[in-house]
Structure 1
Amino acid sequence: MNFDQLLNQYFGTSDLSQASPAVQEAGIDRLRVDLGLATDRAQRFALWSLLYMLGQAPDLDVAFKEEADREAARNLMDLLAASGEDRG
């Protein structure tokens, strides 16, 4: 999954500033539903990552069954925090 593709799929644009608050809310709702339905670990991680960057991600123990996936998510959180992009 490509970041721009995810943004376009859920928000209709790759520039969130162009999406109305209603479109953003609807996109986040669809992301949450798709995360809950996703069985592919990579897809779940991509969806969770986007939700995290939007400040809407569920807790790691809710989102991921595998410890390796939770650790990867922690690494992403640390990288984003170090770059000043922490949104969670």
Structure 2
Amino acid sequence: MQFDDQVRRYFGADNLAAVSPEAIDAGIERMRVDLGLSADPTRRFALWSLLYMLGSAPALDVVFEDAGERDAARNFMDLIDRQGATDEAG
């Protein structure tokens, strides 16, 4: 799953900055539905990751039954949060 492909699929644009707040909300809702319906761990992780970056990710224990998947998600969260802290400091 490519990030750009997911942005196009759920938000109908190449650039999230160009998407209206209403369209962002609708895209997030579609992503959450797809996350709940998907049985593919890779797809679920990708959807959850994008939702996390958009500030709309469900809790880890709700999404990931497997401890290893929860650990991977926590590592992703740490990386994103560290990058955000670096961007704010820079």
TM-score, with structure 2 as normaliser: 0.91
Equivalent residue of 1:49, what SS? helix
TM superposition outliers: structure 1 runs of 4+ over 3 Å:
none
Aligned-CA RMSD value: 0.9
AA at the equivalent of 1:20: S
Q: Which residue of 1 aligns with 2:28?
A: 28
Unaligned runs of 5+ in 2: 86-90
Equivalent residue of 2:84, what SS? coil
| Count of residue correspondences | 85
Unaligned runs of 5+ in 1: none
CA distance in 1, matches of 2:36, 2:83: 29
Higher relative contact order (CA 8 A, sep 6+): 1
AA at the equivalent of 1:17: A
AA at the equivalent of 1:8: R
Q: Which residue of 1 aligns with 2:38?
A: 38
